Amino acid sequence: MSDFETETEIDDETGVETTGHDWDGIKELNNPLPRWWLWSFYISIVWGIGYVIAYPAWPMITGATQGMLGYSTRGEVASEIARFEDQNSALTSALSAVDLNTLGENAELNHFAVAGGAAVFRSHCSQCHGSGANGSKGYPNLLDDDWLWGGTIDQIAYSIKHGVRNEVDEDAHYSEMPAFGDMLEASEINQVVHHVRSITGLENDADLASLGQPLFMDNCSSCHGDNGKGDREIGAPNLTDAIWLYGGDVESLTQTISTSRFGVMPAWGMRLKVSEINAVAAYVHQLGGGE
Amino acid sequence: MSKSKTPQLFAAQVPIFPRRISGFYRNLKWWIMAVTLGIYYLTPWIRWDRGPALPDQAVLVDLAHRRFYFFWIEIWPHEFYFVAGLLIMAGLGLFLFTSALGRVWCGYACPQTVWTDLFILVERWIEGDRNARVRLWKGKWNIRKWRLRLVKWNVWLLISLATGGAWVFYFTDAPQLARDLFAFTAHPIAYGTIAVLTATTFLFGGFMREQVCIYMCPWPRIQGAMMDDDTLTVAYRDWRGEPRGKKRDATRGDCIDCMACVNVCPMGIDIREGQQMECITCALCIDACDEIMDKIDRPRGLIDYLALADEPEERAGKPPKPLWRHVLRLRTIIYTSLWSLIGIALIYALFIQSDIDMTVEPSRNPTFVTLSDGTVRNVYTLRLRNKLGESRQFQVSLTSMQNLQIQIEGAGGDTVTVAPDSSTMLRVYVTADSVNLAANLDQTDLRFWVEDVENGDRASRSSVFNGKGEK
């Protein structure tokens, strides 16, 4: 196989011929490999060249060579996604057309909707509502049983489709609480704060609370109701329950009443397909608070 | 000593023509071949009734449905530790046998050895014994040589096809697959697998043979670490045989240099040169030499299973240690103990295996939710497994030191139906009202129970309820 001339000898210890290679006195015994091994080595080189021609291989400045087969891992993923979409097309079209109130009766479709909805939620909703759907200050917790705009599956789907207080969808939920800092004295706001805490059963100053009661009736009850239980028609939160979107402590309530606060949610109907809206509505509805 | 020439770094394969031999070890190997090949080819065809919902194949690796069936045992993916345990036992068993008996696996039971043996049997049957085969190999490619070669290759190919074909039957219903295969309607993967295994069997059994053991297989190299001077291995009593020679007189040993041991060797080595990497301890040279010793009226065992530790005694003319003292030593006892411990653990695990099972995954994002009336709620994902072939009603409940309420999402009550041989996932809510101690403690222990409403089979898993942690 090799064409070079070299000095070989028979090793005294083993009786095996050396290759003649000598590195500082260290000599290599020549135990020849089988020839088929050499051929398998050549075949693997040929295979390697073929592979480089067939598949993306050489790195270039802006990418890599494409390969004759036009294969790419992205393409593989895309075709796999297309295959699954094709497989699920019957379920997807059924989900687009379904009456959400009867979704629970179709176990297969419901399972498909919840599983798909979870994926939509992770991609589009978790940024604000959290990956566990438990929200954070200013972003509603979707796990509890308290709903600003209603917790039936239809109401949830409407909220997702049209959003809240955005400027692009005419049908978006809309309400705005005034900033009472301009209308009431600081002492009056403090009285209202104590009244609100009293109707929720939180620690409060009874004298201040009783002074706040008429102020509440004059300024707040038109939206939040005489008893503070809120109104879902206009997204006015229930002030008597244990759930606070912006916090129920004196400092937070004072700031909320003084400057007013409200959140915004995009109209997902403009970005997602009907089937995706229905799926994510089904997912949110089964998180534990659905009505 | 020094000379100038071109060293040859690669060498052509030297053909080996093992001669036919009969004897104790040859018979033993025939039996082992019959049993192992029988097990391999026939196992997929054993039927086992598991009812209408499950396959009735005794041994089935159902990759599509992620089930492994072995007679009365059914293994689900979460019980894969059974397979891991069996593999570890197989490894330890190999260590045990190697330290006691050398490369006994290689010589008797390795598929490479068994199929090569079968291929050599076919070769001998068609082309004749060693001398005829050597003549044929040296002879010109005339009609007779072509005819013999083509017949031999075709028989090999049929055996290879049956070997590759048998493999796929382990992975799906064998009779149905057999019908599909012959009707050319089976899955392409089945044909592809058969093609690959047919090719490797044909090549490895027919042409590569000892090359696989010497150059491809890592096991021979690992085995060196497991053998010591007490290991019983095939060896030549050179103190009895040397000096060898054809002429028989008082100055010579028992070896008459007849080359019988070399001629029968499937690895093409001379055992008289001592232990060698190539030797698979198939013991055919023992049979060959014993036959010669009988003929020249000398005692058997010039080539024999022996322990190198006995050499000094034997040279001094003393009797060697009894075999059991070589086999029973600390090393083999440790391997046997480890092997048995894992075996006992697996059998125990098999007995406590239940056909109702549950896992509980508490939701930790968030750890708890406060509801509008102050109630604290935790969410758990329960997976209920029904390992029977019929659908069953499972009732879910919990026990705890505190008064906790349980509710299943989407279910009217506390009972759910689980389909045969499948599992179902439940979203389960556990609540503690605002004045409950559990709502205000950091953590409260609880235990979920699942019970078959009909026969009372049940299983439980403990978990934790998270409260607000204010007390």
Residue B4 contacts A where some CB pair is shorter than 8 Å: yes
Is residue A244 a part of any domain in this protein? yes
Question: Averaged over B137-145, what is the pLDDT?
Answer: 93
Which of these three, A40, A55, A70, is where a domain ends? A55
Is residue A40 a part of any domain in this protein? yes
Percent of chain B at pLDDT above 90? 71
**Which of B10, B369, B372 faces A38 most closely, judged by CB atoms?**
B10
Residues of chain A contacting residue B371, judged by C-beta atoms under 8 Å apart: 144-146, 242-243
Cβ count within 10 A of residue A130? 17
Does B3 have pLDDT greater than 60?
Answer: no
Distance CA A279, CA A285 (A): 10
As given in the structure block, the two tokens for residue B11 are: 């060498």
Residue A42 contacts B where some CB pair is shorter than 8 Å: no
Write out chain A's pLDDT in tens, 291 residues: 444 556 778 888 888 888 888 888 888 888 888 999 999 999 999 999 999 999 998 999 988 888 899 899 999 999 999 999 999 999 999 999 999 999 989 989 999 999 999 999 999 999 999 999 999 999 999 999 999 999 999 999 999 999 999 999 999 999 999 999 999 999 999 999 999 999 988 999 999 999 999 999 999 999 999 999 999 999 999 999 999 999 999 999 999 999 999 899 999 999 999 999 999 999 999 998 888
Residue B149 contacts A where some CB pair is shorter than 8 Å: no
Query: What pLDDT does residue A16 have?
Result: 84
Q: Convert the pLDDT of each residue in B294-323 to its tens digit.
A: 998 889 999 999 998 998 888 888 888 888
Residue A22 contacts B where some CB pair is shorter than 8 Å: no
Residues of chain A contacting residue B208, judged by C-beta atoms under 8 Å apart: 36
Which amino acid appears at position B125 of this protein?
Answer: W
pLDDT band at B471 (very low <50, low <70, confident <90, very high): low
Query: What pLDDT does residue A259 have?
Result: 93
As given in the structure block, the two tokens for residue B165 are: 């074909």
Q: What per-residue string of b and e applies to B250-281 under the rule 16 or more CB within 10 Å gives b?
A: eebbbbbebebbbbbbbbbbebbeebeeebbb
CATH number at residue A188: 1.10.760.10
- Look-up of token digits 């270039």: A60
Query: What pLDDT does residue A2 have?
Result: 45
**Which of A2, A130, A286 faces B6 most closely, judged by CB atoms?**
A2
CB A144 to CB B370 under 8 A?
A: yes
Contact indicator for B386, B356 with CB cutoff of 8 Å? yes
Domains contained in chain B, CATH given: 24-224 (no CATH), 231-310 (no CATH), 356-466 (2.60.40.10)
Which candidate, B65, B312, B40, B55, places its Cα nearest to that of B167? B40
Enclosing domain of residue A21:
1-55
CB B3 to CB A35 under 8 A?
A: no
Does B98 have pLDDT greater than 90?
Answer: yes
Residue of B nearest to A12 (CA): B1
Residue A11 contacts B where some CB pair is shorter than 8 Å: no
Residue A238 contacts B where some CB pair is shorter than 8 Å: yes
Distance CA B416, CA B452 (A): 10
When scoring B9, B378, B379 by the number of chain A Cβ atoms within 10 A, the one with the most, hence best to mutate, is B9
CB B7 to CB A5 under 8 A?
A: no
Residue of A nearest to B407 (CA): A288
Is residue A81 a part of any domain in this protein? no
Dihedral sign, Cα of residue B250, residue B254, residue B260, residue B266? negative
Is residue A128 a part of any domain in this protein? no
Residue B249 contacts A where some CB pair is shorter than 8 Å: no
Helices A89-97 and A274-285 meet at what angle, rounded to 10? 80
CA distances for B59 relative to B148, B173, B239, B275, B397, angstroms:
39, 10, 52, 40, 37
Which candidate, B300, B286, B305, B292, places its Cα nearest to that of B256? B292
Query: What pLDDT does residue B177 have?
Result: 92
Q: What SS3 string covers chain B?
A: CCEEECCCCEECCCCCCCCCCCCHHHHHHHHHHHHHHHHHHHHHHCECCCCCCCCCECEEEECCCCEEEECCEEECHHHCHHHHHHHHHHHHHHHHHHHHHCCHHHHHHCHHHHHHHHHHHHHHHHHCCHHHHHHHHHCCCCHHHHHHHHHHHHHHHHHHHHHHHHHHHHHCCHHHHHHHHHCCCCCHHHHHHHHHHHHHHHHHHHHHCHHHHHHHCCHHHHHHHHCCCCCEEEEECHHHHCCCCCCCCCCCCCCCCCCHHHHHCCCCCCHHHCCCCCCCCCCHHHHHHHHHHHHCCCCCCCEEEEEHHHHHHHHCCCCCCCHHHHHCCHHHHHHHHHHHHHHHHHHHHHHHCCCEEEEEEECCCCCCEECCCCCEEEEEEEEEEECCCCCEEEEEEEEECCCCEEEECCCCCCEEEECCCEEEEEEEEEEECCCCHHHHCCEEEEEEEEEECCCCCEEEEEEEEECCCCC
Is residue A197 a part of any domain in this protein? yes
Distance CA B385, CA B351 (A): 17
Own/partner pairs for B109-114, CB < 8 Å, 24+ apart?
B109/B32, B109/B36, B110/B280, B111/B36, B112/B204, B112/B205, B112/B212, B112/B213, B112/B217, B113/B266, B113/B280, B113/B282, B114/B32, B114/B33, B114/B36, B114/B37
CB B10 to CB A1 under 8 A?
A: yes
Query: What pLDDT does residue B5 have?
Result: 61
Residues of chain B contacting residue A1, judged by C-beta atoms under 8 Å apart: 8-10
Residues of chain A contacting residue B211, judged by C-beta atoms under 8 Å apart: 34, 36
CB B6 to CB A6 under 8 A?
A: yes
Q: What distance in Å separates residue A144's CA from the closest CA in chain B?
A: 5
CB B10 to CB A33 under 8 A?
A: yes
Residue of A nearest to B216 (CA): A37
Distance CA B307, CA B305 (A): 7
Residue of B nearest to A30 (CA): B9
Burial of B178 (0-12, 13-18, 19+ CB in 10 A): middle
Distance CA B195, CA A268 (A): 53
Give chain A's domain count: 2
Residues in A 50-109 with any Cβ partner in B closer than 8 A: 104
Distance CA B392, CA B371 (A): 34
- Look-up of token digits 């005694």: B313
* B67 phi, psi to nearest 5 deg: -135, 145
Distance CA B304, CA B299 (A): 12
CB B372 to CB A35 under 8 A?
A: no
Q: What distance in Å separates residue A79's CA from the closest CA in chain B?
A: 20
Q: Between chain A and chain B, how many beta carbons pairs sit less than 8 Å apart?
A: 103
Residue A144 contacts B where some CB pair is shorter than 8 Å: yes
Based on the domain organization, do A51 and A158 belong to the same domain? no
Distance CA B77, CA B86 (A): 15
Q: Convert the pLDDT of each residue in B321-358 to its tens digit.
A: 888 889 999 999 999 999 999 999 999 998 888 888 89
Q: Convert the pLDDT of each residue in B178-231 to its tens digit.
A: 999 999 999 999 999 999 999 999 999 999 999 999 999 998 888 888 888 999
**Which of A132, A141, A242 faces B365 most closely, judged by CB atoms?**
A132
Based on the domain organization, do A158 and A281 belong to the same domain? yes
- Look-up of token digits 């400092």: A251
Which candidate, A63, A249, A37, A129, places its Cα nearest to that of B366? A129
Is residue A75 a part of any domain in this protein? no
Q: Convert the pLDDT of each residue in B436-470 to its tens digit.
A: 999 999 999 999 999 999 988 899 999 999 999 87
CB B2 to CB A9 under 8 A?
A: yes
Residue B14 contacts A where some CB pair is shorter than 8 Å: no
Is residue A113 a part of any domain in this protein? no
Residues of chain B contacting residue A2, judged by C-beta atoms under 8 Å apart: 6-7, 9
Mean pLDDT of chain B: 91
Question: Averaged over B268-287, what is the pLDDT?
Answer: 92
Distance CA A187, CA B44 (A): 87
**Which of B2, B208, B366 faces A7 most closely, judged by CB atoms?**
B2
Relative to beta strand B443-452, strand B415-418 is unpaired
Residues of chain B contacting residue A4, judged by C-beta atoms under 8 Å apart: 6
Cβ count within 10 A of residue B196? 12
Q: What SS3 string covers chain A?
A: CCCCCEEECECCCCCCEEEEEEECCEEEECCCEEHHHHHHHHHHHHHHHHHHHHCCCCECCCCECCCCCCCCHHHHHHHHHHHHHHHCHHHHHHHHHCCHHHHHHCHHHHHHHHHHHHHHHHHHHHHHHCCCCCCECCECCCCCCCCCCCCCHHHHHHHHHHCECCCCCCCCECCCCCCHHHCCCHHHHHHHHHHHHHHHCCCCCHHHHHHHHHHHHHHCHHHHCCCCCCEHHHCECCCCCCCCCCCCCHHHHHHHHHHCCCCCECCHHHCCCHHHHHHHHHHHHCCCCCC
Distance CA B95, CA B75 (A): 27
Residue B12 contacts A where some CB pair is shorter than 8 Å: yes
- Peptide bond preceding A214 in cis form (omega within 30 of 0): no
Residues in B 373-402 with any Cβ partner in A closer than 8 A: 373-374, 377, 379
Query: What pLDDT does residue B2 have?
Result: 45
Is residue A165 a part of any domain in this protein? yes
